[in-house]
Structure 1
Amino acid sequence: MLTLLHLLSAVSLLVWGTHIVRTGIMRVYGSDLRRVLSRSVERKPLAFVAGIGVTALVQSSNATALLVTSFVAQGLVALSPALVIMLGADVGTALMARVLTFDLSWLSPLLIFAGVTFFLSRKQTRLGQMGRVAIGLGLILLALELIVSAATPITQASGVKVLFSSLTGDTLLDALTGAIFAIVSYSSLAAVLLTATLTATGVISLKVSLCLVIGANFGSGLLAMINASKQNAAGRRVALGSLLFKLVGCVVVLPFVGLLAEQMERLPVADEELVIYFHMFYNLVRCLVMIPLAGPMARLCQTMLADIPEEDPRLSPRYLDISALDTPSLALANAARETLRMGDVVEHMLVLNREVMHGKFAQEREVRRLDDDVDVLYTAIKLYLAQMQKEDLGEADSRRWAEIIEMALNLEQAGDIIERMTGDIAAKSHAVQRAFSPAGMEELDTLHERLVGNLRLSLSVFLSSDITSAKRLRRSKHRFRILDRRYAHAHVDRLHQQNVQSIETSSLHLGLLGDMKRLNSLFCTVAYNVLDQDERDDDRMADEAI
């Protein structure tokens, strides 16, 4: 039992090392890798090579699949070149399996030591993140050694030999077992390396090993389908096309596995090396043959997965790309874009609120619906940012993370206030057929226009962090408060003059003035964040000069 736990922990360490390398590379070069993938779609050979290169860097074809499906889901990349990139990713992961089987035992402790040193001393820098990558590579090499040492005594047990003897002779069962290996270990790389180890100890024959490798490749396609299940139809088509390509490879090669095994056994190469070479050349030949078929496969996938029109596209976020979470700068940019979209919805609510003030009470229902949209977007932004590891963020990214959360929260609160304002206007004006006085309506319209202007300016400051715009927004806030106070006094003067309309709508009018002042404060908070940061930067520069 202890030996089995050692094997399972070694496989887990391999998967974890791969994860660390992927996240480290994405945090340092994530935006560059995305740019390479998005710009390599014009020519199939370039897209194929880009898939190989990116997968070799991130040590995971699943990571490349996640990137590509997100691109296609957002309409940034067409389906046909995306499938070519996925074919390149399959070759890339096969090449890395060959590299990782070399005797690099001396390199593992060196990478781990150097990686930990750089990561702990300069965690928030690019060099620190490269230390993270070095740690991951060292863990991968260490895990491979542990897998070999842990699997050797296990494979000598009589019960294990009996278990694996059941895999001989049934090609489909062997391939299915390989697929299960890949899914359980969350890596076709781990499944292939484990298969090579079992072959080296003589537990399974070469024929069974080849079936397991083919099945592991198919299992990686199933993993991509599972990961893409939450994408829209366009994103899922990428995973489906990659899976169908791998299924075609299985169907074509599996009937000839016995013949291939007989021919390969005659080669003067160790069995475990034969498994790795077969994995590499199987993917290379399969993918090269499939490249010309990317177009027809794309059309087939579009037929099998038709687009489902959304009843209301505003109810779901558009820019919160999960695959960008490993690249903090990109993830924060996505969250900022979604927050700006949230601001557009709030602005629309303000416009409808003004229409309700002018007697179009039917718009109240639309305002309520838009507030629900604001709540949905706020929740999505909050949960998206919560998935980011704050301890791995640099100072600037941590500050931006807090700014986005605060801006989204302010907009969500503003939406609630606007909904309540609109409901009060409809309830207190429409029900008893009361209207604001002409002077009062003019004052409310003036404040409304200034409120919309301040909202637009606050979104601009949020996006650009421009100091001049922030100072302008701060001045606009003070002018709004002065104007709001002046209009409140003017309303009281009309009450002294016994203005009937002002008397009838007094509580509603004063309530709206208070709500507008609160809205203005929420919109203008971003100006103080930018100006405070500018003052802190000036103080730091002054201290450094001293």
Structure 2
Amino acid sequence: MVFLLHLFGAVALLLWGLRMVRTGILRAYGTQLRHFLSNSMSNRFSAMGTGFIVSLLLQSSSATGLVASSFASRGLFSTSAALAIMLGADIGTSFVAQAYTLPLQWLSPLAILIGWIMFNKIQNTQLKDLGRAVVGLGIALLALELLTAAAAPIRDAQLLPEIMQTMQSAPVFGVILGAVLTILSTSSLAIVLLIASFVTAQLVPIDLGLAMVLGANLGSDIMPIMANWSQPAEARRVPFGNMTFRLSAVIIALPLIPYVQPHLAAFQSDGLRQTLNFHVVFNLAMAACGIWLVGPVSRAMTQFLPQQARPDNPSTPHYLNEGSLESPPDALANAAREALRMGDLLGQMLTMSLNVFRSDDRKLIKDVTALDNHIDRLNEAIKLYLTRINREVMNERDHRRVIDLISFITNLEHIGDILDKSLMELAAKKVKYALKFSEEGAREIEEIHQRLNENLELAMNVFMSSDLSMARRLFAEKQIFRELEKTAAENHLERLRSGRIESIATSGLHLDILRDLKRINSHLALVAQPILELAGELSPSRLR
């Protein structure tokens, strides 16, 4: 059983090494790669070439597929362009598999050494992340050597010939096994390399190994389908379209294996090279045929997955695309769009709260409470979404944006609570006892309320733009509101001294409303704080 431990350990090391390469490249050049993807869509062939290059760097067609699906769902490019990208990405991973099996045993320790030096001794963040990728490359190469050594003792297992004979007589089982292993490992590249190692060690007959390679290609597209399953139709069209290409190609290629294999053996007799060459030929043939069909398949996917109307429930997130979690900039943009929806709901609450005091309508009080419940649910959904973003590929700017987003939606949620739990209780009290503000007092509250609405709009703009001048204006409103509350309170006390009956009856109510409006503005002003702190315009304390 020790040899199984060695085998599984080698597989785990291979998966970890490939993951380090992918996350290191994404950390170092993720923004550039996404920009490259979004700006190389002049035609289907350039899109396919872009997918090929990105997949070479990321060493994962699945990761490329998730980014392409995310861009397509946001309308940055068409489904047909995204399908062309995927065809290129499939070719890219097959070439990566070839590169990993080149006879360069000396490269593994050298890559680990160089990568370690880059990661630990260099201060430049981008080079440190690139060092992580280089270490991952060395680990993956080392894992392949360990796989070859660990697989040797398995040849002596008594049950192995019987199992292989059974599966070889029904190659469809090889396809299923390759697909299942890919889904479990989340890496078709690792499984193709594993299959090639098993063929080399004569654990798997060559025909069965080729069938398993077809399964690995099929399984690599099931993961993006699963990741986008609950997303809008636009995000699901790309993985389903790519599955159409792959499934069709597998159905055609599977019965042709006995006829293709002799030609592979004539070209290179080694089992390792036959397996990897078949992987390349399969993806090249699929791309050569599929590139002319991206248009029809894209239209078919649009009919199969038509755009659906947004749900009416305001509590349901619209933009939290699960497929974007591996790409922090995309995921953070999605969360920011959802946060703006929270702000829009808060604007409705703020407007309704003034109408409640004007009309004494009890139904409006319930409507404000309902909106607060929607805001609470969106706040929870956004926070959970942010916690699931892939931290391994986040840079310092992404981490800071996560903190700013959480701070922003938390302030919005607090404002909603003030409106619901405090202001609406005051409104209910006013309705219950049929209280009336003096004409001057009502006008003061409306003027302050109007300014608060303007500040909410300003806060949303500051959040999205991070503009320093707007942040200064918003933060200055904190002092302005303090003066407005002070002036309004003094005016109210003056009316009390003059014996105004309305002012006497609503005295406590009036002052509590002014206090709550000031509290709301203070939360809005906090939106500007991170921007001012980053610019060095805030002192640690206001005490002199």
Taking structure 1 as the reference length, the TM-score comes to 0.91
Indicate conservation of the 8 Å contact 1:27/1:326, yes or no: no
Shift of the 133–314 alpha-carbon distance from structure 1 to 2, 3 Å rule, reads farther
**Number of aligned residue pairs:** 539
1:498-528 residue CA offsets vs partner (Å, 9 max, x unmatched): 3332233333222211111111111112344
Shift of the 18–316 alpha-carbon distance from structure 1 to 2, 3 Å rule, reads farther
Distance 1:103 1:33 in 2: 30
> 1:183-198 to 2 correspondence within 5 Å?
183-198=183-198
2:289 alignment partner AA: V
Q: Aligned to 2:168, what secondary structure does the other structure show?
A: coil
- Matched with 1:385 is 386
1:417 alignment partner AA: I
1:286-329 residue CA offsets vs partner (Å, 9 max, x unmatched): 12101111122122222333333232274344454555555555
The alignment status of 1:151 with 2:147, answered yes or no, reads: no
Indicate conservation of the 8 Å contact 2:444/2:488, yes or no: yes
- Matched with 2:460 is 459
- Matched with 1:443 is 444
Fraction of identical pairs, as percent? 38
Distance 1:344 1:366 in 2: 15
> 1:308-323 to 2 correspondence within 5 Å?
308-312=308-312, 314-322=314-322
Shift of the 147–258 alpha-carbon distance from structure 1 to 2, 3 Å rule, reads same
- Matched with 2:8 is 8
More moved, 102-111 vs 177-186: 177-186
More moved, 22-31 vs 470-479: 470-479
Indicate conservation of the 8 Å contact 2:22/2:60, yes or no: yes
1:376-428 residue CA offsets vs partner (Å, 9 max, x unmatched): 33223322333457798665554444333222211110111112345225422
- Matched with 2:231 is 231
- Matched with 1:479 is 480
Distance 1:305 1:528 in 2: 44
2:503 alignment partner AA: S
Q: Aligned to 1:307, what secondary structure does the other structure show?
A: coil
Indicate conservation of the 8 Å contact 1:458/1:473, yes or no: yes
More moved, 51-60 vs 169-178: 169-178
- Matched with 2:430 is 429
Distance 2:539 2:440 in 1: 46
Indicate conservation of the 8 Å contact 2:231/2:322, yes or no: no
Indicate conservation of the 8 Å contact 1:443/1:487, yes or no: yes
> 1:314-353 to 2 correspondence within 5 Å?
314-322=314-322, 325=325, 328=328, 331-353=331-353
Shift of the 268–359 alpha-carbon distance from structure 1 to 2, 3 Å rule, reads closer
1:376 alignment partner AA: R
Distance 1:10 1:499 in 2: 85
Distance 2:360 2:285 in 1: 67
The alignment status of 1:210 with 2:210, answered yes or no, reads: yes
Shift of the 9–462 alpha-carbon distance from structure 1 to 2, 3 Å rule, reads same
- Matched with 2:514 is 513
- Matched with 1:269 is 269
Distance 2:266 2:231 in 1: 47
Shift of the 389–300 alpha-carbon distance from structure 1 to 2, 3 Å rule, reads closer
More moved, 189-198 vs 379-388: 379-388
Shift of the 456–303 alpha-carbon distance from structure 1 to 2, 3 Å rule, reads closer
- Matched with 1:544 is none
Indicate conservation of the 8 Å contact 1:417/1:519, yes or no: yes
Q: Aligned to 2:10, what secondary structure does the other structure show?
A: helix
Distance 2:205 2:399 in 1: 54
Shift of the 176–24 alpha-carbon distance from structure 1 to 2, 3 Å rule, reads same
1:320-363 residue CA offsets vs partner (Å, 9 max, x unmatched): 45555555555545544443443333223212222222116243
Indicate conservation of the 8 Å contact 1:84/1:294, yes or no: yes
- Matched with 1:470 is 471
Indicate conservation of the 8 Å contact 1:470/1:531, yes or no: yes
Distance 2:267 2:403 in 1: 61
Indicate conservation of the 8 Å contact 2:6/2:150, yes or no: yes
2:258 alignment partner AA: G
- Matched with 1:488 is 489
Distance 2:427 2:126 in 1: 56
> 1:32-71 to 2 correspondence within 5 Å?
32-71=32-71
Distance 2:330 2:369 in 1: 32
2:180 alignment partner AA: I
Root-mean-square deviation over aligned CA pairs = 2.6
Q: Aligned to 2:306, what secondary structure does the other structure show?
A: coil
- Matched with 1:116 is 116
- Matched with 1:403 is 404
The alignment status of 1:87 with 2:79, answered yes or no, reads: no
2:512 alignment partner AA: G
Indicate conservation of the 8 Å contact 1:186/1:223, yes or no: yes
Indicate conservation of the 8 Å contact 2:10/2:144, yes or no: yes
Distance 2:302 2:140 in 1: 38
By how many angstroms is 1:193 displaced?
Answer: 1.5
Indicate conservation of the 8 Å contact 2:315/2:378, yes or no: yes
Q: Aligned to 1:164, what secondary structure does the other structure show?
A: helix
1:434 alignment partner AA: L
Shift of the 330–73 alpha-carbon distance from structure 1 to 2, 3 Å rule, reads closer
Shift of the 329–44 alpha-carbon distance from structure 1 to 2, 3 Å rule, reads closer
1:11 alignment partner AA: V
By how many angstroms is 1:161 displaced?
Answer: 3.0
- Matched with 1:172 is 172
1:103 alignment partner AA: P
Indicate conservation of the 8 Å contact 1:27/1:327, yes or no: no
- Matched with 1:366 is 367
By how many angstroms is 1:117 displaced?
Answer: 2.0
The alignment status of 1:251 with 2:223, answered yes or no, reads: no
Distance 1:157 1:42 in 2: 55
Indicate conservation of the 8 Å contact 2:224/2:323, yes or no: no
Shift of the 132–319 alpha-carbon distance from structure 1 to 2, 3 Å rule, reads farther
- Matched with 1:137 is 137
Shift of the 120–529 alpha-carbon distance from structure 1 to 2, 3 Å rule, reads same
Shift of the 268–82 alpha-carbon distance from structure 1 to 2, 3 Å rule, reads closer
Distance 2:537 2:331 in 1: 26
1:19 alignment partner AA: R
By how many angstroms is 1:56 displaced?
Answer: 0.7
Indicate conservation of the 8 Å contact 1:356/1:425, yes or no: no
1:199 alignment partner AA: V
Provide structure 2 residue ranges, at least 5 long, that are not aligned to the other structure: none
Q: Aligned to 1:375, what secondary structure does the other structure show?
A: helix
More moved, 212-221 vs 529-538: 529-538
Indicate conservation of the 8 Å contact 1:26/1:326, yes or no: no
Indicate conservation of the 8 Å contact 1:410/1:523, yes or no: yes
Shift of the 30–314 alpha-carbon distance from structure 1 to 2, 3 Å rule, reads farther
Taking structure 2 as the reference length, the TM-score comes to 0.91
By how many angstroms is 1:493 displaced?
Answer: 2.8
The alignment status of 1:222 with 2:216, answered yes or no, reads: no
